[in-house]
Copies of this chain bind each other. A is one copy, B any other.
Amino acid sequence: MRDIKNRMLGKGSMEFGTPVRIACSASIVGKKEGEGPLGQLFDQVGQEDMFGAKTWEEAESTLQKEAVQLCLDKSGVKIEDIRYLFAGDLLGQSIASSFGLAQYETPLFGLYGACSTSGLSITLGSITIAAGLADKVMCVTSSHFASAEKEFRYPLEYGNQRPLSASWTVTGGGAFLLSDQPEQKDRAQIAGVTPGKIVDYGLKDSMNMGACMAPAACDTICRHFQDFKRKPEDYDKIVTGDLGYVGQQALFDLLSQKGIDISDRHMDCGIEMFDQNTQDTHAGGSGCGCAATVLSAYLLKQLEEGNWKRILFLPTGALLSKVSFNEGQTVPGIAHGVVIEAIS
């Protein structure tokens, strides 16, 4: 039995009595992502974005399947030893996960948190391990540029113009193996979480999701500092998922109204993913796969190499659908905060 001294903190945070280990992780991305600044760091880069499949949705399922397989291969853990999968994606009824993961025949918790789903899956996977109710779980999320455009905006063939505030959905999948057994080779550990609330400032522009999600990121950051009695300096980096350039500025503005300044340690996975000058991705990358692949390929590497001691990983999600958008609804946001620390 695990030594459990988990703690509820403040109004909505959790601290794990024994930090949950990220034993291994893997990332797979599309061609464009492979050509970006982080291109060399991903475990696998596709040569074409269909990944051998017949439809965009099937291509995204392949990202989920491959991310899990890569993570199994890298860790040497067998699928039979993974007790649960925690998975989600952006598509209606989460079909990328369902059709990508069926073959693994592993009990599945299906999740939806839009682009925040990587944080959601790692949070719920960590809780289950912290409860002593699983020894090894895998958390996996994906997004695909073409399936997301089809799902949320226009068919690619339509060739719509994209405003500068629009983000570019990352084609990628990331998988994380969480474990209750500390080992020397673990990548990092999860010390606690601050799950997100839905925050809705009434914005309706689905081509400016950064601004729509910034209030949620601000809310989670403020509650996190309060609940953990910490300040920005307690983190080497505070890393949002896909606010992009526009959302980053909105976040700084909102936080400054609360007297908080994170500008010297803020990083955004969407900004890191692409080269704004040469890749024509406007506000930056987005999608479930953005934060997941950047966490696996870049952020955990910095923690492993001792460059950082502790980060707040904060994937952000925009809770819209094409139906809600077409019916004139707002675009509410949510942001799940995860405290990830280097193994000391």
Contact = CB atoms under 8 A, between A and B. Distances in A.
Contact of A131 (B109, B131, B196, B332): B131
A57 interface: yes
Contact of A84 (B113, B135, B195): B195
Given A127-B131, A320-B93, A12 B107 contact: yes
Given A8-B83, A127-B133, A332-B98, A91 B198 contact: no
B324 A107 contact: no
Given A8-B83, A102-B198, A109-B120, A91 B323 contact: yes
A334 B87 CA distance: 14
A52 interface: no
A110 interface: yes
B127 A195 contact: no
A106 B320 CA distance: 18
A106 B5 CA distance: 24
A321 B84 contact: no
Contact of A1 (B5, B199, B324, B327): B5
A127 B93 CA distance: 24
Given A132-B6, A324-B99, A124 B109 contact: yes
A128 B12 CA distance: 12
Contact-size category for A: 35 or more
Nearest to A102: B198
A12 B83 contact: yes
A210 interface: no
Contacts of A12: 83-84, 106-107
A111 interface: yes
Interface in A123-150: 123-124, 127-128, 130-135
A94 B112 contact: yes
A320 B57 CA distance: 12
A105 interface: yes
B197 A105 contact: yes
A55 interface: yes
Interface in A1-43: 1, 4-8, 11-12, 14
A332 B12 CA distance: 35
Contacts of A327: 55, 57-58
20 contacts: A6-B131, A6-B132, A57-B323, A84-B195, A91-B92, A92-B92, A93-B319, A93-B321, A93-B324, A95-B321, A95-B324, A98-B319, A99-B332, A107-B197, A108-B196, A109-B111, A109-B113, A110-B111, A127-B133, A151-B323
Question: 7 shortest A-B CB distances, which residue pairs?
Answer: A92-B92, A131-B131, A93-B321, A98-B319, A107-B195, A102-B198, A110-B112
